[in-house]
Chain A
Amino acid sequence: MRMTAVQRFDLWLRHATPVGLAVLLAILSVVPVGIPGYAVVVPAYTTMGAFYWAVFRPDLQPPIALFLVGVLQDVLAATPLGTTALCLMVVHGLAVSQRRAFLGKPFVLTWFGFVLIYALAATLIWCLVSVLSLQPIGPGPAVFQYLVTVTLFPVVAWVFVRVHRHVVR
């Protein structure tokens, strides 16, 4: 069955949503909101997105797009170029390889998966940035950011579920 141009465009838009959302989240994560201490522990929204879509719709999240989103966030947040990109790629890779374990299971299991996989990725990134800056970086902020991200994951995932159901389908 052939689709009309409008249908095709509609489908394209729907399929571009995960990547578009990632770009939006990358930008939103550097917008100043005026909450005390927020900038220090700003949750890694893009990482949550990378994990969610890697588990539920990996076909809509091509690694190259994820890579570019990571570089964009690095530029915006002035982190060493490539660190966020690497973090997203690692999370994506691990999540895709383990996705069968999460599909059709209760959400708590997915959450647990995110806790583990993001811990691995965050540790790796922390080590790399420490090596790059030639000194161990105080782990405090990194640990806080990890905890905040992990705690907020269900909330953000809820939004992703809505988007997934109503927009992406």
Chain B
Amino acid sequence: MARRPGSFTRVAQPVRSFWSRFAFALLLAGAFALMLLGKADILLVDRFRAGVADLLAPVLEVLSEPAASVADAAAAIRRLRDLRAENERLRIDNERLDRWQHVARRLEAENKALRALTNFVPEPNTAFITARVIADAGGAFVRSAMINAGQDQGVRRGLAAVTGDGLVGSIVEVGLRHARILLITDLNSQIPVVVERTRDPAVLAGDNTRLPRLVYLPQNAQLQVGDRVVTSGHGGVFPPGLPIGMVTSVEEGAVKVTPYVDWNRLEYVRILDYGLDGVVKPSGGVPPYTVMTPDQSSGGRLLGLGSK
């Protein structure tokens, strides 16, 4: 289609020359503006992020499959090599666990009986959604992962994501078919925890390294290397007792925790729905941390494929 030299060109020409001259500066300013806009925690920005990520979720889903299978194959070869030793270890483990199972059964029965005696308010039933990790965002500034389940599957903001080993993080962004987990190692992640042995409450604060720190410990806390750290359930975001990690160094002013989760093999996660109302409602204004923003969708609660 031939273009006639007409009015359109005459109008477009100055615009175009203006653009070509100032495009770069305008875009730089645009990037700055976006940064501020994102900081202001505007709903529109959240929607935009979720929308774009939703569009790309299928692409990531397909791409993450071969990458995962290559990693799987490599791991399979390594396992094949260690088969005998592994077998021996498992046999011993099994014996030990059998004994533990026995203890657990006894304790469960005892627990049930005691609860019946004391009119204990039981924890609500748990539903869970299992999802695959389709993107693993790292770099210098964030620790987050994207999964292939979203609003359609019943994922909501604030739910806990776990693996068999322990707590992975919490859901901070939910699209229709994807959701984003803020890992417990992220700078913005702060989780109320309790040290299992001493019952000392604290907050587990991520700092983008592999070892998050325990902060706000009581003055007289007597921690040891090897103490287990679990969620405390304070704030009503996470249920109490989810295993998180182990204290690996206690120094002046810095208690480091090694999470149980194997970050290198983060393939599937379980999103736990304890039916907790979750998210702490802020009293005045919206704090900058996105998990704290009250959930906008107050529709009926959906339950995923979980057990009931």
Contacts and interface: CB of A to CB of B under 8 A. Distances in A.
Nearest to A139: B140
Contacts of B60: 27, 30-31, 76
A81 B35 contact: yes
B34 A31 contact: no
B248 interface: no
Contacts of B142: 77-79
Interface string A27-43: 11011111111111110
A17 interface: no
B220 interface: no
Contacts of A34: 67-68, 70-72, 74-75, 264-265, 267
B49 A129 contact: no
Interface stretch (A6-14, A65-73, A102-110): A65-73
A79 B141 contact: yes
For chain B, the bracket of interface size reads 35 or more
A80 B141 contact: yes
A113 to B, nearest CB: 19
Contact of A82 (B31, B74, B141): B31
A126 B208 CA distance: 13
A30 B264 contact: no
Interface string B108-149: 000000000000000000000000011111111111111000
B34 A32 contact: no
Contact of B138 (A41, A70, A89, A128): A41
Contacts of A82: 30-35, 37-38
Given A27-B60, A75-B49, A137-B187, A35 B264 contact: yes
A81 B38 contact: yes
B34 A39 contact: no
A142 interface: yes
A141 B143 CA distance: 11
Contact of B23 (A64, A86, A90, A141): A64
Nearest to A128: B35
Interface stretch (B51-59, B83-91, B233-241): B51-59
A169 B133 CA distance: 38
Given A72-B52, A93-B24, A32 B31 contact: no
B70 A141 contact: no
B180 interface: yes
Interface residues of A, number: 50
B266 interface: yes
Contacts of A36: 264
Nearest to A90: B28
Contacts of A32: 64, 67-68, 133-136, 145, 266-267
Interface in A45-89: 62-64, 67, 70-72, 75-83, 85-86, 89
10 contacts: A34-B75, A38-B138, A39-B143, A63-B23, A75-B53, A76-B56, A81-B35, A82-B35, A86-B31, A89-B28
Interface of B: 23-24, 27-28, 30-35, 37-39, 45, 48-49, 52-53, 56, 59-60, 63-64, 67-68, 70-72, 74-75, 133-146, 173, 180, 187-188, 207-210, 263-267
Interface of A: 27-28, 30-42, 44, 62-64, 67, 70-72, 75-83, 85-86, 89-90, 93, 126, 128-129, 132-133, 135, 137-138, 140-142, 144-145
